[in-house]
C-alpha cells in the first residue's frame, strides 16, 4: 500500500516536472520571439531615422553625447560617423555661442520640448559664412521610469522659405510705409462691411474721427456719408470690381460737431487677392477743396456773366485768339433766328452784308495781327435776310503775360439812328438849299445899296450911319451864307457827293486873295504872311481857299486877346506843299486835338456863347484835304496858341 502510494506520488511529481519543463520551454519560445520583435522594431526605428530627409540626432546625458546622427545631419555638420559617442560640444563648439547648448540643457532639465521656427543661424558652408534658417524641435527622451535621459533633435533647413517670407514682410512693410507717408488720402477697406484695415494720417485728418478707426466698418466711422450716396458706390465697386473715379466731388464731413464741405478727386479701387477674388476696396483721394471752391466761384461768376450777357440787348460774341467764335448771346440768336449751334457752325462772314464783307475782313485780319481794338459800322442780316446797320466793337482779352487769349465783340443795332440821320440830312440839305437862294439875293441887294448910298443919310435931320450898318448886315449875311454852305457841304460829304474840281493854280496867290476877302469882314485881324516858297499845285482852288478861310477865321475867333495870326507857305522835307496858320490864342488840350476834326465836335469848357460856331469847319477842312490825299496836323498848347498845318502832295 505504501509502496503503491509512493509510486503514485513519484508519478505525480514527475508529471509536475514535465509540466514545468513544458511551461519553461514555452516561455523561452515567447521571450525568443519578443526579443526578435524588439530587434526588428529597433531596426525599423533606425531605418526611419536614417532614411528621414530631416536632420536627426539623439543626444544622451548631461554631456549631450551623440548617440545617433543620421546622414543629413552629418552632412550638414560636415562630419563622419566617427563622431558618434562624442559630446556634441566637442564636435560643434559653436553651439555654445549660438545659445543652442543652453537650450538643450533646458530641455534636459525641464523635460519640456523646445521649438524653433525659421530660426536664423549663421553657418559656414564651403568656407563661406551664410545666414540660414531652420525649423527645429528639441524633444526630451525619457526612459521607462519617465526620467529624462537625453534629447532628440529634429531639424529642417527652411532658408528659401524664410527668405521668401522675409521678402513678403519687407514688401508689406514698404507698402504700409508708402501709404502712411503719402500726402494722398489713402485707406484700405476689407470685406463687405468695409472694415478699415489701413487709414493713413492724411485721410484720418480729413475724416476728423481721431486715430482709432482701424478695425471699424467705414460707415460706422463716417455715418454722415450714408446720405451722400457713398455706401451705394462702395457696394458697386466691391460687387462689380469696376473702379469708381470722381473729380471735384463735393462731400460733407462731420468735423468738430459741424458739417464741413470739401471737394475731392478720388478713386475707389477694388482690391483683389492672388486668386482674383475681390477682398475689399482701396480709397485714394486728394483734397481739392481750395481748387473746388475756386472753380465753384468761377462757375458762378461765369453763370452771372452769361446771364448778364444774355440779358442785355447788344449782340455779344466771344471768340478764340484766332477769331473763331465760341459763344453768341441770346440777342444774336433772336436777331438771326438761328440756334447757337447753327451760328457756331456757319462762318460769321455769312451774317454780314455782302458790300461790307471785304473791308470787315481786312479790318479783322489787321486787328488779329496787331491786337488793336475794332470800332466800325457794318450791316448785319436779320432773320428775314434784311441788312441792318450796327455799330461793331471788338477788344482783345489778354492774359497776365499780355498774350491775347480771346476776343469779345459787341454789335449794337443803329438802324433807327441811321434812318433818323438820313432824314435829318435830307432835311438839312433841303433847308440849306431853300435858305441859300433868298440869303444870296439879300446879299446882292445890300451890296447894291452900299454902292449907291452915301456915307451918311440925312433923312430927318438925324445922322444915321447907314453904311456902317449895311456893312454889319453884310458881314452877318456872309456868316449866314458860310454856315449854309458848310451845311450843304456836310450833306454832300455824307452822301459822297463832294466832287473836286481840279485846276493848276498858285497857292501863294490864292492865300493872298483869301486874306484880302477876309480883311473886309475881319478888320481887326493882323495877318503876317510869309511866302517861303512859291508853290503851284493842282487842286480844287475854291475848296483849298475854303480850308484856308476856315483856319484863319478859327485862329482869329479863338484868340480873344490878340488878333495876330502868322501864315506860312512852305515846302516840306518830303517835298509837299504846306500852309500853316499859327495863332497865340486859347490853345487846345492834347486829348482834344484829334477830336476837333470830328463832326459837330466843339471843345467843352470853351464858352459856346463866346465862340460862335457849329463844329463843322475843321471836319470839312479835314475831309477836303484828305480828298486831296493830304493831311491836316495840329500843334497846340493851352493858353499859348495853336498851329494848324495842311500838307498837299505836289505830284498830282
Ligand atoms: P467851330 O465852328 O466850333 O469853330 P470847328 O470845326 O472849326 O468848329 O472847330 C472845332 C473846335 O475846335 C472848336 O469848337 C474849337 O473848340 C476848336 N478849335 C478850332 N480851331 C481852334 C484854334 N485855332 N484855337 C483853339 N481852338 C480851336
pLDDT tens figures, 188-229: 999 999 999 999 999 998 888 888 999 999 999 999 999 898
Strand pairing class (631-637; 195-199): unpaired
User: Nearest-CA neighbor of 624 among 559, 565, 579, 558?
Assistant: 579
409 has pLDDT over 90: yes
Which position has the higher pLDDT, 256 or 242? 242
230 has pLDDT over 70: yes
User: Nearest-CA neighbor of 346 among 314, 305, 311, 381?
Assistant: 381
User: Nearest-CA neighbor of 565 among 511, 527, 622, 607?
Assistant: 527
pLDDT band at 458, cuts 50/70/90?
A: low
Q: Which of 96-105, 189-198, 356-365, 536-545 has the lowest mean pLDDT?
A: 96-105
Please give the distance, rounded to the nearest whole angstrom, from the Cα atom of residue 616 to the centre of ligand 1: 9
Across the range 24-30, mean pLDDT stands at 88
Across the range 447-467, mean pLDDT stands at 74
For 325, phi and psi rounded to 5 degrees? -60, 140
462 has pLDDT over 70: no
The pLDDT assigned to 217 comes to 95
pLDDT band at 554, cuts 50/70/90?
A: very high
Please give the distance, rounded to the nearest whole angstrom, from the Cα atom of residue 617 to the centre of ligand 1: 8
* 558, 564, 595, best to mutate for ligand 1 pocket (most atoms within 8 Å of CB): 558
CB atoms within 10 A of CB 134: 19
* Cα angle 398, 401, 403; round to 5: 45
Which position has the higher pLDDT, 269 or 498? 269
CB 505 within 8 A of CB 539: yes
Across the range 441-459, mean pLDDT stands at 80
521 has pLDDT over 80: no
Percent of the chain residues past pLDDT 70, beyond the cut: 97
Q: Return the residue matching grid coordinates 502868322.
A: 566
Please give the distance, rounded to the nearest whole angstrom, from the Cα atom of residue 498 to the centre of ligand 1: 22
CB 375 within 8 A of CB 286: no
* Mean pLDDT (the chain, rounded): 89
Which position has the higher pLDDT, 368 or 648? 648
Q: Give the ligand 1 atom nearest the CA of 581.
A: 23
pLDDT band at 461, cuts 50/70/90?
A: low
Q: Is the dihedral of CA 325, 329, 330, 336 positive or negative?
A: negative
Burial 325-358 (b: 16+ CB within 10 A, else e): bebbbbbbbebbebeeeebeeeebeebbbeebee
- C-alpha separations of 59 from 56, 121, 135, 281, 372 in Å: 10, 20, 18, 54, 103
pLDDT band at 246, cuts 50/70/90?
A: very high
* 525, 589, 618, best to mutate for ligand 1 pocket (most atoms within 8 Å of CB): 618
Our answer on whether the CB atom of 432 is closer than 6 Å to any ligand 1 atom is no
Q: Whose CA is nearest to atom 8 of ligand 1?
A: 615
The pLDDT assigned to 293 comes to 87
CB 281 within 8 A of CB 190: no
Q: Which three cell numbers, joined as nine digits, stand for 473?
A: 448886315
Q: Whose CA is nearest to atom 21 of ligand 1?
A: 554
The pLDDT assigned to 33 comes to 87
CB atoms within 10 A of CB 155: 20
Q: Which three cell numbers, joined as nine digits, stand for 568?
A: 506860312
175 has pLDDT over 60: yes
Distance, in Å, from the CA atom of 281 to the CA atom of 235, rounded to the nearest integer, reads: 9
Our answer on whether the CB atom of 45 is closer than 6 Å to any ligand 1 atom is no
* 547, 602, 607, 609, best to mutate for ligand 1 pocket (most atoms within 8 Å of CB): 602
- C-alpha separations of 444 from 188, 433, 451, 454, 479 in Å: 109, 17, 11, 18, 14
Q: Return the residue matching grid coordinates 510705409.
A: 177
Q: Whose CA is nearest to atom 20 of ligand 1?
A: 554
Q: Which of 117-121, 152-156, 339-343, 360-364 has the lowest mean pLDDT?
A: 117-121
Distance, in Å, from the CA atom of 492 to the CA atom of 47, rounded to the nearest integer, reads: 134
Our answer on whether the CB atom of 415 is closer than 6 Å to any ligand 1 atom is no
1 has pLDDT over 80: no
Q: Give the ligand 1 atom nearest the CA of 641.
A: 24
Instruction: Note the pLDDT tens digit of each residue in 45-76.
Output: 888 888 888 999 999 999 999 999 998 888 88
Please give the distance, rounded to the nearest whole angstrom, from the Cα atom of residue 131 to the centre of ligand 1: 106
For 601, phi and psi rounded to 5 degrees? -85, 130
Q: Give the ligand 1 atom nearest the CA of 586.
A: 25
608 has pLDDT over 70: no
* 615, 623, 624, 625, best to mutate for ligand 1 pocket (most atoms within 8 Å of CB): 615
Our answer on whether the CB atom of 641 is closer than 6 Å to any ligand 1 atom is no
Strand pairing class (526-531; 564-571): parallel
606 has pLDDT over 70: no
Q: Give the ligand 1 atom nearest the CA of 597.
A: 6
pLDDT band at 456, cuts 50/70/90?
A: low
Please give the distance, rounded to the nearest whole angstrom, from the Cα atom of residue 604 to the centre of ligand 1: 11
Instruction: Note the pLDDT tens digit of each residue in 283-312.
Output: 999 999 888 889 889 999 989 988 999 899
Our answer on whether the CB atom of 553 is closer than 6 Å to any ligand 1 atom is no
Which position has the higher pLDDT, 485 or 124? 485
The pLDDT assigned to 459 comes to 55
CB atoms within 10 A of CB 156: 15
Please give the distance, rounded to the nearest whole angstrom, from the Cα atom of residue 602 to the centre of ligand 1: 6
The pLDDT assigned to 220 comes to 93
Amino acid at each position: 500500500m505504501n509502496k503503491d502510494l509512493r509510486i503514485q506520488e513519484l508519478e505525480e511529481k514527475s508529471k509536475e516536472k514535465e509540466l514545468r519543463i513544458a511551461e519553461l520551454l514555452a516561455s523561452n519560445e515567447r521571450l525568443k520571439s519578443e526579443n526578435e520583435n524588439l530587434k526588428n522594431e529597433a531596426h525599423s526605428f533606425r531605418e526611419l531615422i536614417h532614411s528621414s530627409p530631416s536632420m536627426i540626432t539623439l543626444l544622451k546625458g548631461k554631456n549631450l553625447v551623440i548617440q545617433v546622427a543620421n546622414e543629413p545631419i552629418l552632412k550638414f555638420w560636415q562630419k563622419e560617423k566617427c563622431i558618434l559617442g562624442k559630446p556634441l560640444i566637442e564636435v560643434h563648439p559653436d553651439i555654445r555661442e549660438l545659445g543652442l547648448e543652453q537650450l538643450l540643457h533646458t530641455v534636459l532639465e525641464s523635460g519640456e520640448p523646445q521649438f524653433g521656427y525659421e530660426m536664423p543661424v549663421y553657418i559656414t558652408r564651403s568656407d563661406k559664412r551664410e545666414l540660414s534658417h531652420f525649423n527645429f524641435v528639441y524633444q526630451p527622451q525619457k526612459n521607462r521610469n519617465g526620467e529624462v535621459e537625453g534629447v532628440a533633435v529634429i531639424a529642417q533647413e527652411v532658408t528659401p522659405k524664410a527668405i521668401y517670407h522675409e521678402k513678403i514682410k519687407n514688401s508689406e512693410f514698404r507698402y504700409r510705409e508708402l501709404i502712411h507717408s503719402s500726402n494722398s488720402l489713402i485707406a484700405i477697406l476689407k470685406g463687405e462691411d468695409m472694415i478699415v484695415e489701413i487709414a493713413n494720417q492724411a485721410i484720418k485728418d480729413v475724416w476728423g474721427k481721431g486715430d482709432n478707426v482701424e478695425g471699424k466698418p467705414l460707415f460706422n466711422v463716417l455715418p454722415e456719408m450714408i446720405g451722400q450716396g457713398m455706401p451705394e458706390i462702395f457696394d458697386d465697386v466691391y460687387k462689380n470690381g469696376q473702379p469708381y473715379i470722381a473729380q471735384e466731388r463735393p462731400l460733407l464731413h462731420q468735423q468738430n460737431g459741424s458739417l464741413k464741405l470739401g471737394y475731392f478727386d478720388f478713386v475707389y479701387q477694388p482690391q483683389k487677392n492672388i486668386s482674383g477674388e475681390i477682398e475689399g476696396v482701396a480709397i485714394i483721394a486728394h483734397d481739392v477743396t481750395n481748387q473746388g471752391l475756386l472753380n465753384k466761384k468761377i462757375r458762378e461768376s461765369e453763370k452771372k456773366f452769361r446771364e448778364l450777357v444774355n440779358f442785355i440787348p447788344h449782340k455779344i460774341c466771344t471768340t478764340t485768339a484766332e477769331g473763331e467764335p465760341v459763344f453768341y448771346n441770346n440777342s444774336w440768336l433772336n436777331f438771326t433766328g438761328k440756334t447757337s449751334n447753327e451760328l457756331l457752325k456757319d462762318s460769321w462772314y455769312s451774317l454780314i452784308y455782302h458790300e461790307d464783307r471785304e473791308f470787315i475782313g481786312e479790318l479783322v485780319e489787321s486787328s488779329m495781327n496787331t491786337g488793336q481794338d475794332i470800332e466800325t459800322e457794318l450791316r448785319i442780316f436779320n432773320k428775314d435776310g434784311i441788312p441792318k446797320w450796327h455799330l461793331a466793337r471788338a477788344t482783345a482779352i489778354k492774359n497776365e503775360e499780355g498774350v491775347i487769349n480771346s476776343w469779345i465783340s459787341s454789335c449794337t443795332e443803329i438802324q433807327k439812328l441811321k434812318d433818323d440821320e438820313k432824314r435829318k440830312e435830307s432835311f438839312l440839305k433841303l433847308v440849306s438849299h431853300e435858305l441859300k437862294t433868298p440869303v444870296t439875293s439879300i446879299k446882292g441887294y445890300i451890296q447894291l445899296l452900299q454902292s449907291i448910298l452915301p456915307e451918311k443919310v440925312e433923312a430927318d435931320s438925324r445922322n444915321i450911319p447907314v453904311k456902317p450898318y449895311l456893312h454889319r448886315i453884310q458881314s452877318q449875311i456872309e456868316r449866314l451864307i458860310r454856315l449854309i454852305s458848310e451845311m450843304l457841304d456836310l450833306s454832300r460829304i455824307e452822301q459822297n457827293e463832294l466832287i473836286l474840281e481840279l485846276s493848276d493854280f498858285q497857292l501863294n496867290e490864292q492865300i493872298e486873295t483869301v486874306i484880302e476877302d477876309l480883311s473886309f469882314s475881319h478888320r481887326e485881324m493882323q495877318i503876317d504872311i510869309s511866302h517861303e516858297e512859291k508853290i503851284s499845285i493842282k487842286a480844287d482852288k475854291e475848296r483849298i481857299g475854303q480850308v484856308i478861310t476856315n483856319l484863319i477865321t478859327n485862329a482869329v475867333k479863338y484868340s480873344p486877346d490878340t488878333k495876330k495870326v502868322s501864315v506860312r507857305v512852305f515846302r516840306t522835307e518830303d517835298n509837299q506843299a504846306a500852309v500853316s496858320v499859327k495863332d497865340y490864342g486859347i490853345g487846345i488840350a492834347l486829348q482834344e486835338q484829334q477830336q476837333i476834326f470830328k463832326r459837330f465836335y466843339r471843345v467843352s469848357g470853351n464858352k459856346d456863347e463866346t465862340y460862335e460856331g457849329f463844329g463843322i469847319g475843321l471836319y470839312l477842312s479835314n475831309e477836303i484835304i484828305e480828298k486831296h490825299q493830304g493831311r491836316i496836323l495840329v500843334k497846340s498848347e493851352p493858353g499859348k496858341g495853336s498851329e494848324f498845318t495842311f500838307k498837299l502832295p505836289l505830284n498830282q
